[in-house]
Chains A and B, each alone.
Chain A
């Protein structure tokens, strides 16, 4: 049985159903990300698990016990907030030791635990500082140590990285993942940043309008998005309208160029419009590269982004972006040039609503 089991969770604010029939089973030691745009209900789910919001219906089981009726201070959960939320009047060590102190753990046992935690986050010498003397990244590490010190059963991270600089964000997320694996603690991480979610999660829950659209490994979510929303939210994606020419042979056309898909078209009829998804990195205009399928189009723009060159080209009425890895020997396509984009037919995914 799952360690943290959320069943049929619902939250209604007045007329608004912000969380709808949410189900999630998390194994012990798993790192799960709730990913979605703001207002999708991900934070509300997290706050219901923490106990700051009461659920309208449904169950939340931790280690087999329903915690819905328990107050937050009885749930034995650790939480890290977006805005650090360190107590400004307490030193770093006192902050980390707060959870132990209210539990009545004192003396050398508490001191050892605090020292151990500070070592874990790599700040063993800053115990006597006050929060205002630390950088944002350091404060968030202390917040993590504070959440972990009382040995919680579950760790909740509420967008812990979004207040930080880009560089620190990357290094801290790796550190969080390392610490999480080292302790084997069951973790739920809320973020709106798909790169963050993809890079550190065991599984991702993509949320949209209060519902879980898709639950799967980062690899699955990225490569096999099950809905149009997931496809467009995770990663950059070309959504292309195509016309069905021959449903039996999986033939469709994009801007009058016929293509054979790998996936069966199912019940589509001749003349129907379907949506196809193509990742920008799937295609290439280099002669002979991975291509059994090709589209010819005209270059509209070509932007140098450092490691890649992103080019937009027009195929009929459709606009398709594709990336090429940068290399010094490369000649970037020029605007107005006619190019042939080659890709594997199986990279073209049919998006069913």
Chain B
């Protein structure tokens, strides 16, 4: 009885998720009348705008990840090591982006960093890109910080630091050669998640007028019929790949840890 009910709930859940995926895949293959084809994909992939925006978003994602690592790993480490009392507050701050909508944050950026402000970031292309990257880093903050902090919890930060210090290591060495390698798996998990978020992000890029993948998809969706479905399949593939990579590195780390 209980099991029937359980299977029912699971089936409902699976149906809910697979129907749209089947729907979009099916639709993306129907560009040619009367038969299945990859025409929609070919059309999308050949579009120079696609290559341009996709490339832009990938670059943005990589920079965001690098920036996030440089910002968050030392901070999380330092808080764990020296200021554990600060942790609840930091945690609260890192969760704020989940509560304050992205559209509100980017609205603040536009008003705060416009050409007539004290920090006219939106005045130049580089400045706007920088601002967009900061925005992405803010969006990724809850995930990145949590991943790194969880990673740090599994190692004994204090002992490792003291051991390294007693051997004469400085802070840069400790962070780059001791702490980072030990939380690499956590950092990578956070990085892949950041990648998935940045690639599909629409609101910030659209409002800052940057040629990113998200706004491109939206634009295509408004004007074409079959290409959007193909794009959705591609985007889903990217998300899936990112999550798969997270699973992979986590499993890999468990494996090496078990050997130790």
A and B touch in the complex (CB under 8 A): no
Residues in chain B within 8 A of chain A (CB atoms): none
